[in-house]
Amino acid sequence: MNKVFNYSYKSSRALIIGINDYRDATNLDYAVNDALAVKNMLIDKLNFDQDQVVYLENKEATRQRILQAYLGFAEICNDDDRIVIFFAGHGHTRAGNRKETGFLVPHDAKMDDLSTLISWDELTRSADLISAKHILFVIDACYGGVALSRSLAGSYRFVKDVASRFSRQVLTAGKADEVVADSGGPRPGHSIFTGHLLDALDGNAMAEDGVLTANRVMAYVYDKVATDTHSAQTPHHGHYDGDGDLIFDAPFLHEDSSEEKEGSDLMFKTPSSEPRKDIIAVQDYIETLKELLSEDRFKIRLFDFINSEIRLCLENLEALGYSSNAEDVTAEDFQIRVKGYEDACERIIKVVCVLGYWASASHLNLIDRILHRISERDFDSSGKIIWINLNYYPLTLICYAGGISALASRNYEALKRFLLADTHKRHHADQTEKVIYTITQANLELERATGFKLLPGYGKFYAPRSEYLFKSIQPHVEDAISVGRFYEQFFDEFEIYYAYSYADIWQQEGGEFWGAPGRFAWKEKNRSDGPLRKIYADASIHGTNWPPINAGIFTTKERFEEIHQGYLELIDKLNWY
């Protein structure tokens, strides 16, 4: 479909069908309730014109009347219309020689006569006669024979762009071998599927910027129905044609298009639902990544692999649904969120371990890409300080894991990326700052709000975040690169480079000399052979050829010595015993 459409809608139309009473099939209890509620939702909540909504229930919903109303859209629709087709009733599936065929069962159907049913293929073929740019089929029935594709979850799109693209989208309550629950949903008197659909349309699936798309509704319903304790069905959803998205609501639908400003389009992220098929099994992906890093001929596959892992991480983080506006801040809530972020980032943490250890010059841009994409994810920028800044915890995990692994192979070029890569500036997405600055500022705010002292057993530590990360990151590093007992050395070294790099930046910007003291600071204060002195000794041996200077972590030997001396003085002032 190469036709160019406007992003706004000229008319909003619907065909709503609900059948409780059948001539030749078992009756249902709530299909009419479901259809009526969807009709009212479209009209009362989503600004569909009542005169453009056709409603058929029970005896009215014959095969002839349904097809007459449906094909009638071919005569009256404009290119820039949106149409919602909703059916609540029985579905039927018949296996053929090559594939299954799905059918809707109208009121007057004879179950032993396929010609009295309405086949899915008949609906899709006839849709080609309807000029409306967007048609969404929502079928509260289970049946097969529906081949669909999905947008790549986690990809960014402009809302007006997808609104101006052709699409034919489908959401069904379940697949051929599943039984649809006619009751027991989140709304009394409605099926599980339609109950969650109504919740989605009522705002539960709406993005924070006021955008409610068919893709968001479908992903929400999939997640809720598939995990509902009363459900034995798994919705099926996606596109069977086009790549646009029906927009239920968005700010631009309520604005005068003549007053549109240049660059005013909103960017949104395509939602995630069921796991993507291109995700490699957990036990294989580390070895797969190592193989892809081994030869330059794999560079395209390697790029695709990294992109896939980034999207999976972003999907997992988005699925957590953590709000920065949660009223209460309890130790239990903090612990739940910390573990949630760690689980969501588990794979990408292992990926950066492998990259940190093995990356050559041609792979460093992949580290930059990971940090850049994770830093640009959307989350609440207002609310409780502790929750806002805990949103940066995934970035901390990635930098620590990658940096520790880089030190394990003395890969200082990779280490520099995990310290000094440019990422999106906090609260200013159109600007950049060094990743070390981003995570240090966030961690400072966390510490001021008690932060990791809320975790059980960590309130007694001078550096609770450092102590916690020391334990939580170790299994990932060990699984990916197996450093054994040397892990503690590499962890402390990373935190020293972390502290020195931040102190360097902060002092150059006019701040008082400071860098986050980790668990290494206690060791330095209480031992004659502390980790700072070991690093200084190594630097002294190599002089101007010291690898961290060659990699650009420090500009000169003199600047490193200045930072080192400043940090020794800072540690002396700590009241740590």
Q: Cβ(369)–Cβ(311) under 8 Å?
A: no
**Segment 108-167, tens digit of pLDDT:** 999 999 999 999 989 999 999 999 999 999 999 876 656 566 554 555 667 887 888 899
Which of 96-100, 265-269, 319-323, 520-524 has the weakest average pLDDT?
A: 265-269
State mean pLDDT over 492-507. Answer: 94
Cα 545 to Cα 370, 501, 538: the distances in Å are 30, 19, 11
End-to-end CA, the chain: 72
Q: How far apart are CA 460 and CA 481, in angstroms?
A: 32
Domains of the chain: 12-269 (3.40.50.1460), 282-572 (no CATH)
DSSP, res 58 = G
pLDDT at 494: 97
Query: Are 19 and 33 a contacting pair, CB within 8 Å?
Result: no
- Burial annotation 187-206 (CB, 10 A radius, 16+ → b, else e): beebbbbbbbbbbbbeebbb
- Per-residue model confidence as pLDDT tens digits over 464-487: 999 889 888 888 898 888 888 889
469 vs 176: which has the higher pLDDT: 469
Between these two residues, 167 and 509, which has the higher pLDDT value? 167
Distance CA 289, CA 313 (A): 16
- How many CA atoms does the CB half-sphere of 100 hold within 13 Å? 15
Contact 325, 380 (CB under 8 A): yes
* Mean pLDDT, residues 517-543: 87
- Other Cβ atoms within 10 Å of 28 Cβ, number: 23
Instruction: Return d(Cα 75, Cα 65) in angstroms, integer.
Output: 16
For residue 310, pLDDT over 70 is answered with yes
Mean per-residue pLDDT of the chain: 87
HSE-CB for 550 with a 13 A CA cutoff: 11
How far apart, in whole angstroms, are the C-alpha atoms of residue 255 and residue 435? 38
The per-residue pLDDT for 262 is 42
pLDDT, one tens digit per residue, over 239-297 is 888 888 999 999 888 876 555 544 456 766 667 655 444 444 545 788 899 999 999 99
What's the pTM? 0.57
Rounded distance between C-alpha atoms, residue 415 and residue 496, angstroms? 12
**Encoded amino acid at 564, one letter:** H
167: which strand partners? 134, 242
Torsion of CA 104, 107, 113, 118, to 10 degrees: -30
* pLDDT value for 524: 82
Q: Do 412 and 360 touch, CB atoms closer than 8 A?
A: no
Share of the chain above pLDDT 70, in %: 89
Percentage of the residues of the chain whose pLDDT score is greater than 90: 56
Q: Of all helices (H) and strands (E), which one includes residue 33?
A: helix 31-44
Q: Give the number of other Cβ atoms within 10 Å of residue 462's Cβ.
A: 16
Which helix (H) or strand (E) element contains residue 170?
strand 167-174
Distance of CA 358 to the CA centre of its chain: 28
Lowest-confidence range among 68-82, 159-173, 344-358?
A: 159-173
How confident is the model at residue 258, as a pLDDT? 52
Q: How far apart are CA 311 and CA 353, in angstroms?
A: 18
Q: Secondary structure of the chain: what % helix, strand, coil (to 5)?
A: 50, 15, 35
* Tens-digit pLDDT profile for residues 363-396: 999 999 999 999 888 776 778 899 999 999 999 9
Q: How far apart are CA 201 and CA 214, in angstroms?
A: 9
Looking at 364-469, which runs of residues are DSSP E strands?
422-425, 428-434
pLDDT at 277: 44
**Cα three-residue angle 346-351-353, rounded to 5 degrees:** 100
